[in-house]
């Protein structure tokens, strides 16, 4: 009973997160300016991190926790660098 509940809730959560990924990709494609695309990329990183957490729960190994931590770090660095680039025109001055 509880196993069924866990598996179905994980499946519903993964479907919802997949739809969220599609919505952010839509904003990334139509985004009128560069900062909208960067913001959508940041949201995409966050949703991908949550998706890997659910995959880790489903598989049952704590390995995916480290993968999602790395994705969080990469999302922070890439969004900060792109914001700096939009502000100044170069990343490192």
Partner 1 sequence: MTDIPLWAAIIFAFLVVSGAGLTLMGCIGLARFDTFYARVHAPTLGTSYGLVSMALASALYFTLIGGRPVFHEIVIVVFVTVTTPVTLMTLARAALHRDRSEGKPGIPLPAPRSSVNPAPETQ
39 binds partner 1 (CB under 8 A): yes
Instruction: Residue 40: count other Cβ atoms within 10 Å of its Cβ.
Output: 19
CB of 55 to partner 1, least distance (A): 11
Residue 38 makes contact with partner 1 by CB under 8 A: yes
Q: Is 63 an interacting residue with respect to partner 1 (CB under 8 A)?
A: no
For the chain, counts of helices (H) and of strands (E): 3, 0
**Both structure tokens of 72:** 């969080």
Asked if 29 touches partner 1 (CB under 8 A), the answer is no
- Site of interaction with partner 1 (CB under 8 A): 1-3, 5-10, 12-14, 16-17, 19-21, 23-24, 26-27, 33, 35-36, 38-40, 42-43, 46-47, 49-50, 53-54, 56-58, 60, 62, 65, 68-69, 72-73, 75-76, 79-80, 82-84, 86-87
């Amino acid at each position: 009973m509880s196993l069924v509940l866990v598996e179905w809730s994980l499946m519903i959560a993964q479907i919802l997160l997949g739809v969220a990924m599609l919505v952010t990709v839509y904003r990334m494609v139509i985004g009128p300016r560069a900062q909208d695309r960067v913001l959508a990329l940041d949201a995409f990183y966050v949703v991908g991190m949550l998706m890997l957490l659910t995959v880790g729960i489903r598989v049952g190994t704590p390995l995916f926790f480290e993968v999602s931590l790395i994705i969080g770090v990469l999302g922070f660095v890439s969004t900060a660098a792109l914001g700096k680039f939009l502000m100044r025109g170069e990343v490192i001055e």
